[in-house]
């Protein structure tokens, strides 16, 4: 099968596409892939690391307010459609899948105009602008949350698959996770991460929280700052603590996130849909701090889904302090019964066969 993948901007759009590629390879052996991403997003860096052929187009998103930048965006979209058609004609895919981000707009639209079967995947509880637009042209829309089917009235075929990224983490080795962090196996690990680029507010809260934790309780905190914030955050922590103790592990980025998640007891993070798919697939309790700087506040909607089921505690950024974060962590990690109950709730939400369901639909579309 020949597959074009498209998704970009953040890891939350990129990793589901990669997960689908890996699932297809696991089921059918070597396949032919082309990943079409943007010139400005993380995909230009991350996708080549996954050994997937990569080509780029220049595209940006629309601003919510009237702006001349939107005129430039329309022109980039039209040029992107033209460039995508050229790539698609040359590659001749059986099917095209878009996993979100502005770059999917011209790629999936171009495929639909060329009569190539298309599938788009929506990771969030509130659909993004690009996927709402594309749902009128795509053959299938796959959604991550049960009950979202009604969010795409313009598409006749909407299916609930969960997030393909969930499949990636279920076979990850906790032993390798512990080893990569230099933490003894069986230790309690609290992972604090603000997304692939980091989050300034979470970094600041962790700096404020650090003096309250790690006093001989055997808990290891793994703090992922994001590369832009690493040096400043590490410096502030060293100053606050008089050096970095052996219970605190400060990293700019984690490249083997599935393995680290496999050894994690509790996670503090944003509420990006792909990350939530990973932690629920593994049954990890969470303290979720939704980003307020996203379209339609969709991260809070994602987080509330887990909160309603008892799998997460939601702490809004406006209420985020070091003390508040410490209290939220302690009420979970300090009570084995609470931790177990939340873990079970998280696992109930996890859909482990997500990538396989997407691949099954791709096969159906390719065979049409």
Same domain membership, residue 115 and residue 100:
yes
The CA distances from residue 42 to 18, 39, 219, in Å, are 13, 9, 32
- CA 285, distance to chain mean position in Å, is 17
Is 299 one of the annotated binding-site residues?
A: yes
Same domain membership, residue 146 and residue 103:
yes
For 310, phi then psi, to 5°, come to 80, 15
The CA distances from residue 249 to 192, 245, 265, 351, in Å, are 10, 8, 15, 30
Is 36 one of the annotated binding-site residues?
A: no
Measured distance CA(202)–CA(222) in Å, rounded: 13
Banded pLDDT at 126 (limits 50, 70, 90): confident
Secondary structure in 3-state letters for 143-184: ECCCCHHHHCCCCCCEEECCCCHHHHHCCCCHHHHHHHHCCC
pTM over 0.85: no
Same domain membership, residue 178 and residue 156:
no
Whether 50 has a pLDDT exceeding 60, the answer reads yes
Same domain membership, residue 14 and residue 117:
yes
Whether 71 has a pLDDT exceeding 70, the answer reads no
Same domain membership, residue 288 and residue 257:
yes
Residues 6+ positions from 297 with CB-CB distance below 8 Å: 126, 290
Is 296 one of the annotated binding-site residues?
A: no
Predicted confidence at residue 168, as pLDDT, reads: 81
Same domain membership, residue 259 and residue 223:
yes
Same domain membership, residue 282 and residue 188:
yes
Domain that holds residue 118: 2-165+353-366
Same domain membership, residue 161 and residue 228:
no
Average pLDDT rounded to a whole number, residues 128-137? 91
Query: Hunting for tokens 């400005």 — which residue is that?
Result: 40
Same domain membership, residue 123 and residue 183:
no
Number of domains in the chain: 2
Whether 152 has a pLDDT exceeding 60, the answer reads yes
Of 47-61, 147-161, 211-225, least confident by mean pLDDT is: 211-225
Is 73 one of the annotated binding-site residues?
A: no
Task: For the chain, give the mean pLDDT.
Answer: 91
Whether 197 has a pLDDT exceeding 70, the answer reads yes
Is 10 one of the annotated binding-site residues?
A: yes
Residues paired with 284 in a beta bridge: none
Same domain membership, residue 160 and residue 263:
no
Same domain membership, residue 325 and residue 191:
yes
Helix (H, G, I), strand (E, B) or coil at 130: helix
Same domain membership, residue 29 and residue 50:
yes
Residues paired with 222 in a beta bridge: 191, 249
Is 84 one of the annotated binding-site residues?
A: no
CATH number at residue 276: 3.40.50.2000
Is 177 one of the annotated binding-site residues?
A: no
């Amino acid at each position: 099968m020949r597959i074009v993948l498209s998704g970009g901007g953040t890891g939350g759009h990129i990793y589901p596409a990669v997960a689908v590629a890996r699932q297809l390879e696991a089921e059918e052996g070597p396949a032919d892939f082309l990943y079409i991403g943007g010139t400005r997003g993380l995909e230009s860096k991350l996708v080549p690391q996954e050994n997937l052929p990569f080509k780029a187009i220049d595209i940006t998103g629309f601003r919510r307010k009237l702006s001349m930048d939107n005129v430039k965006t329309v022109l980039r979209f039209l040029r992107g459609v033209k460039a995508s058609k050229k790539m698609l004609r040359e590659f001749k895919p059986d099917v095209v899948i878009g996993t979100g981000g502005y770059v999917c707009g011209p790629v999936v639209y171009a495929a639909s105009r060329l009569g190539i079967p298309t599938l788009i995947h929506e990771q969030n509880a509130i659909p993004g602008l690009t996927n709402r637009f594309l749902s009128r042209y795509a053959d299938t829309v796959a959604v991550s949350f049960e009950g979202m089917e009604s969010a795409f009235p313009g598409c006749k075929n909407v299916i609930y698959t969960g997030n393909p990224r969930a499949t990636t983490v279920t076979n990850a080795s906790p032993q390798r996770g512990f080893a990569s962090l230099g933490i003894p196996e069986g230790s309690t690990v609290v992972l604090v991460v603000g997304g692939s680029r980091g989050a300034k507010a979470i970094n600041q809260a962790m700096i404020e929280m650090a003096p309250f934790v790690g006093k001989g309780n055997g808990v290891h905190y793994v703090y992922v700052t994001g590369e832009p914030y690493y040096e400043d955050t590490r410096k502030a922590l060293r100053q606050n603590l008089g050096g970095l103790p052996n219970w605190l592990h400060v990293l700019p980025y984690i490249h083997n996130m599935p393995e680290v998640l496999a050894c994690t007891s509790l996670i503090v993070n944003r509420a990006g849909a792909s990350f939530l798919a990973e932690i629920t697939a593994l049954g990890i309790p969470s303290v979720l701090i939704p980003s307020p700087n996203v379209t339609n506040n969709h991260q809070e909607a994602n987080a509330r889904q887990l909160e309603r089921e008892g799998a997460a505690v939601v702490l809004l950024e406006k209420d985020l302090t070091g003390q508040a974060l410490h209290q939220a962590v302690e009420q979970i990690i300090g009570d084995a019964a609470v931790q177990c109950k939340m873990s079970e709730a998280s696992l109930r939400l996890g859909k482990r066969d997500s990538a396989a369901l997407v691949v099954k639909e791709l096969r159906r579309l390719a065979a049409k």
